[in-house]
Structure 1
Amino acid sequence: MSALRRSRSRVAVAGAALAAVLAVQGCTTTQDPATDRPGGLGPRLARLLDDLVQQHGFPAAQVTIDGPGGHRVLTAGAGDTVTGAPIGDGARVRIGSNTKTFVATVVLQLVAEGKVDLDAPIERYLPGVVRGNGNDGDRVTVRQLLQHTSGLPDYLASGDPAVPPDPGSPQLRPDAEKIRWAHYESADLVRIAMSMPPRFEPGARSVYTNTNYILLGMLIEAVTGRPAAAEITARILEPLGLRDTYFPDPGETTMRGPHPRGYQDIDGARADFTDLDPSWAGTAGAMVATPADLNRFFAAVLTGKLLPAAQVDQMRRTVPFDRGEPGAGYGLGLIRQPVSCGKEVWGHGGSIPGFETRNGVAVDGTVVVVVVNQLPADHAAADAVAQVFNAAICS
């Protein structure tokens, strides 16, 4: 899973016949007609969404905007390449690393309750777990896990096609068929990580690492005595009424409710990758939500509906990190995202085989989620998704 970044994942571009179908289908909208005047937000976003499908090979793309202008949705392409049906307004998608912000929010709630110390070593809460090959839980703090400054190795491979797979590496490649259907416990994933040496000294820099958030999920369970998924549900989903958001049950491979299909390049061909066991993603990226629910969640985090002001302030203290646009910064499960109009924007984003989401909240109350149902094929495609997000958040 990744945060908002230039994707390095391989994806197949649509064939000529499919591209022709999508070009005819074009962009649909449920937004306020007043914004669809010539030169307005609607036509511009419609053109950008159509470009994602027709020029960059995504099966479908959707942008959902909430805030002062109400609820608006624009969609292009096919959420299902067999039926040609678009992504519906209110359809669920796999949200990948946006899961990390849910986890960070629960951890910071525990901090506010005096049950967790941000600057305590993870060894205090998970004795003996972060050990081996130079990894030392006495030297890694909760804050460093939240901010990706721990230096711990990642149990997931990079997914960069420019980096040949190391046949001797224990890292998981989630687009592999055997990984797709395998079930992993959090402890299994951490053991994979601990079989490798640290990447750098704790606190030296910030490198995005999924292992950090698997450990934070284990921390939540250790402190509360309940699974992290149950705490996320009780502390966030139920209070906010996010009925279309959930953490998959153990062994659950299909998606609940209305949802588009998600696609992945497998050996140069587009494959339906909607169904999978997301246990390899766990508390680093397994959750499912609608864009509208995701908008409500991020708005609630930033406006203090889930956390005291002191903890929101902690979340917004950023460091430079190795992903994202130039000028982006990683806080405690939140990313500060630079945009062309200069607005202050906070969000996260996520990638998982089948889906990518870009999202953020602007200080004026505008909240945006952009969804594509296949990972970008190259930097140009990733930049085109970013352009849609930028246009929507700067409206």
Structure 2
Amino acid sequence: MGKRGWAAAVVTALVLGATGAATATADTSADAAARIDRAAVQRALDAMTRTGAAGVQVRITEGNRQFAARSGVAEWGRERPVPLDGRFRIGSVTKTFVSTVVLQLVGEGRVELDAPVGRYLPGLLPDGDRITVRMLLQHTSGLHDYTGSLPSDPVEQLKIRYKHWEPAELVALSTAKPLNFPPGTRFDYSNTNFAVAGMLIKEVTGRPYDVEVERRVLRPLGLRATFLPGDRPGIPGPHAHSYVRLDGRVEDITRFNPSVAGAAGSMISTTADLDRFADALLGGELLKPAQLAEMMESLPFSEGYGLGFAAYPMSCGTTAWGHDGVIFGYSTAVLSTADTGTRLVVSFSSGPDEGEVEGLRELLDEVFC
């Protein structure tokens, strides 16, 4: 479900390749963004599809001006361009939605951040009396990342791509191993933390985390193109496909059972919906001021990571806030200045040939610097 790495413009845990570029832009305002050079943005996107991505789409907001741009193709070997507002898997950006729900419950007095997880989920974690809710959301619990216990070989991954996973099964993969470190002493990104957070939401509210995300975030904000897919393997509506090359053949890896990601990274969205979410979250529409401040507060050793939300320092000294995600051929980043005056949502899908994607650093510098 991805580890943080966009601040350095480096994406790992993803097979990427090159393709020809098809380009287009679309305005959602009468004027182009004043400071941001759209030609520079397009050059960065085209560099991405020349060097690794099959297709890429971006939505950029500066003040009251917004535009979308794209490069590459929606399907390998075909000429149809990436939809300007196509749907895609957002991976670990899901964590910010889940953290928002947990922090809403904190604001309602139903969850205490510094209470042990064992208070809400007795018996789930062997160290549940030492791991707090806060530690889950800030990745300082020490819990082994369950994805490290899943097959790492792409061929083996594809064999179980349609398997249904219960959250408790994923957590059990983690707890079969000892803690990586004493709780609260280090930062180590682990998808297990949010698998547990999803279970906590269900225990406290009586409803699954996906239902709570929908009723507390998606519906109030009108995010009609955002989905929590459960076991559904496909992506509804227009979307780009992702690929990997195995044994000399090109394999479309767009479809799989996303229950393996669950509350850690299963959601599907669009650039428009994610832009609205970032604006609403930082604008105070979803959380009370105290909980938003908690979300943005990091520890000296947590690499700028707060509670399901992170600070991304740019090369020029500007700080953007948000989250990134990598899942089965899709890479996404949602970033915004704290005042929401400048926002970026970008998603790209993988091509079949391995290669390092270029252009990410140039894109970030153009938007935030």
- In the superposition, the TM-score normalised over structure 2's length comes to 0.91
Alignment partner, residue 334 of structure 1: 309
Aligned equivalent of 2:4: 4
Instruction: State the alpha-carbon separation in 2 of the partners of residues 268 and 10 from structure 1.
Output: 18
Q: Are 2:260 and 1:303 equivalent residues in the alignment?
A: no
SS in 2 for 1:140: coil
Q: Pick from 94, 102, 109: which aligns with 2:97?
A: 102
Please tell me whether the aligned partners of residues 358 and 371 of structure 1 are also in contact (alpha carbons under 8 angstroms). Answer: yes
Distance 2:227 2:221 in 1: 13
The answer to which of 278-287 and 312-321 deviates more is 312-321
Q: Which runs of no fewer than 5 residues in structure 1 stay unpaired?
A: 158-169, 323-327
Alpha-carbon distance, 1:67 to partner = 4.2
Cα distance in 2, alignment partners of residues 297 and 174 from structure 1: 35
Q: Residues 1-395 of structure 1 correspond to what in structure 2 (within 5 A)?
A: 1-5=1-5, 6-14=10-18, 19=19, 22-23=20-21, 25=22, 27-31=23-27, 35=32, 41-54=37-50, 56-131=51-126, 136-157=127-148, 170-173=149-152, 175=154, 176-249=157-230, 251-267=231-247, 270-319=250-299, 328-364=303-339, 365-374=341-350, 380-381=356-357, 384-394=359-369
Runs (5+) with no aligned partner, structure 2: none
CA contact (8 A) 1:359 1:370 kept: yes
**Superposed displacement of residue 99, structure 1:** 0.3
Structure 2 residue identity aligned to 1:368: L
- Checking the alignment, whether the CA contact within 8 Å between 2:110 and 2:204 is kept in structure 1 is yes
Aligned length: 361
Structure 2: distance between partners of 1:116 and 1:377:
46
Distance 1:70 1:231 in 2: 32
- Cα distance, 1:13 vs structure 2: 2.6
What is the CA deviation profile of residues 162-209 of structure 1, one whole-angstrom value per residue up to 9, with x for unaligned ones? Answer: xxxxxxxx4344941123111101011011111111111101110000
Q: Quote the RMSD (CA, aligned, Å).
A: 2.3
Alpha-carbon distance between aligned partners in 2 of 1:7 and 1:79, rounded to the nearest angstrom: 20
Distance 2:351 2:110 in 1: 38
CA shift, 1:376, in A, is 11
Taking only the aligned residue pairs, the percentage that are identical comes to 42
- Evaluate the alpha carbon distance shift between residue 234 and residue 174 of structure 1 in structure 2; reply closer, same or farther with a 3 A threshold: farther
Identify if the C-alpha distance between structure 1 residues 89 and 185 changes in structure 2 by more than 3 Å, giving closer, same or farther. same
Match of 1:89, SS? coil
What SS does structure 2 have at the residue aligned with 1:301? helix
